[in-house]
A and B are shown apart, each in its own frame.
Chain A
Amino acid sequence: MPIIVNLDVVMAQRKISATQLADEVGITLANLSILKNNKAKAIRFSTLEALCRALHCQPADLLAYEEPSEQEESL
């Protein structure tokens, strides 16, 4: 998927652990891991809001759009 979740980058910048963030956001560690590893198919606005609040950032800091390569497009 061309949407990249930069959660691990922002977490590293804020020096916050996955357990701490999961606690603050109110999601399970397993779901946070799905988000971090770009396995998620969608993100709820409520989750995005909670992440932005916990990490003191904007949605754009967490999400990025990457142009798919020709090889990926043909798949």
Chain B
Amino acid sequence: MKIRIIGQKSLGIVLEKLCWPFFFLGIALTAALPWILDYYGRIFWEDLGTDYPRILAVLYPSALMALSTIWQLRKILQNVNRGNPFSLENARRVRWISISCLVVGILFLAGIVPSLLAPLLGFAFLFLAALALVLSELVKQAALFKEENDLTI
């Protein structure tokens, strides 16, 4: 059985549709973040104490960046499924994802979260930010080549 990757009735469409539940789940989790953090704090560390607002200050912007990334991914998938993958709009969206990753990376590297995993996560997000930036440039170049090709008669 051959799976269609993009276009009508394809894997791309499934992913595009899946972005919606992820987006709403993200909103719900972001809204419930203070309670979730409190719950996990009591399970793993008994009491987060003064760390609680600091962790929340990192997790809230990170959650918002994650939400915006899901939104951008949905829009990119929408453009790809409509047969317009190489556009300047998509390049801008990938760049925005890169900026989101950069913000999260900096937040985790800033030493606000008292965890050994935080710098590791920070570097991982910085790596993703750099990767997304290169990809955005790639999409931009492709969009310019496509435009030139489309306007060559």
Binding site for B on A (CB under 8 A): 27, 31-32, 34-35, 39-44, 47
B152 to chain A: closest CB distance in Å?
Answer: 4
* Number of CB contacts from chain A to chain B under 8 A: 23
Interface flags for B89-124 (1: CB within 8 Å of A; 0: not) read 000000000000000000000000000000000000
| Main SS class of interface, B | mixed
By size class, the interface of chain B is under 10
CA A44 – CA B153 in complex, angstroms?
A: 6
Residue of B nearest to A47 (CB): B153
B3 interface residue per 8 A CB criterion: no
Binding site for A on B (CB under 8 A): 147-148, 151-153
Chain A residues within an 8 Å CB radius of B152: 40-44
B153 to chain A: closest CB distance in Å?
Answer: 5
Q: A34-B151, A41-B147, A47-B153 are in contact. List 9 more A-B contacts (CB 8 A).
A: A32-B153, A34-B153, A39-B151, A40-B151, A40-B152, A41-B151, A41-B152, A43-B152, A44-B152
CA A15 – CA B54 in complex, angstroms?
A: 77
Chain B residues within an 8 Å CB radius of A27: 153
Chain B residues within an 8 Å CB radius of A34: 151, 153
B15 to chain A: closest CB distance in Å?
Answer: 32
Chain B residues within an 8 Å CB radius of A47: 153
CA A65 – CA B152 in complex, angstroms?
A: 18
Chain B residues within an 8 Å CB radius of A40: 151-153
CA A69 – CA B67 in complex, angstroms?
A: 49
A70 to chain B: closest CB distance in Å?
Answer: 26
Chain B residues within an 8 Å CB radius of A44: 152-153
CA A32 – CA B153 in complex, angstroms?
A: 8
